[in-house]
Amino acid sequence: MTDGHLSQYLHDLPPSTRNVTSAAMALARLDELDWTPRGGYPGSDVLWPVKCLLCGWEGLRFYSHLRRARPKGRHAGCAPAAEIANRLDQLGRAATGTCTCAQPHAVSAEAFHETALLLASAHADGDSKQSLFLAERLMGPCTATARRGRAAQRAFPRS
């Protein structure tokens, strides 16, 4: 996902606060379940290309199916159901909750809110370079992805 376009974060979706918030929450959930996206967030009920970090399988999944409790099985040919929870826990140890990236990500509700509004403005102004920079701060890979997802929920709560 390094094509240098906003679509690497939001597939065919405008960078509205709702879409950016949903994408950040979806990326946090994928991270928690040890999936990695192979394309931008397409929306919750659209097939999303993903890669299983347990075995390397690549295919399509609905995010709406992944946001539920940990599934008993992941896909055909993956780890046995009895081993999945333990493997997820082992892989999840890389998540620190602290962003140590060279370009800090928005991991507080205030920072997420401000950055999302700046992204919407940059996109409306046609500033693709600034839009991509801000999208990276909201949705780029980071060891604090789960924290950023929680910040997104607090910044733009659903009513």
pTM greater than 0.85: no
- Quote the pLDDT of residue 92: 64
Indicate the number of domains in the chain: 1
Q: Is the residue at 72 inside a domain?
A: yes
Per-residue confidence of the chain (159 residues) as pLDDT tens digits?
A: 444 688 889 999 999 989 999 999 999 888 888 889 999 999 888 999 999 988 899 999 888 777 766 666 678 888 887 887 787 777 666 666 789 999 999 999 999 999 999 999 999 999 999 999 999 999 998 888 888 988 999 998 876
d(CA 55, CA 72): 16
* Domain housing 22: 6-155
Q: Is the residue at 60 inside a domain?
A: yes
DSSP label at 159? -
Q: Is the residue at 140 inside a domain?
A: yes
Q: Is the residue at 1 inside a domain?
A: no
> Which residue, among 84, 70, 80, 142, has the nearest Cα to 111 in the 3D structure?
142
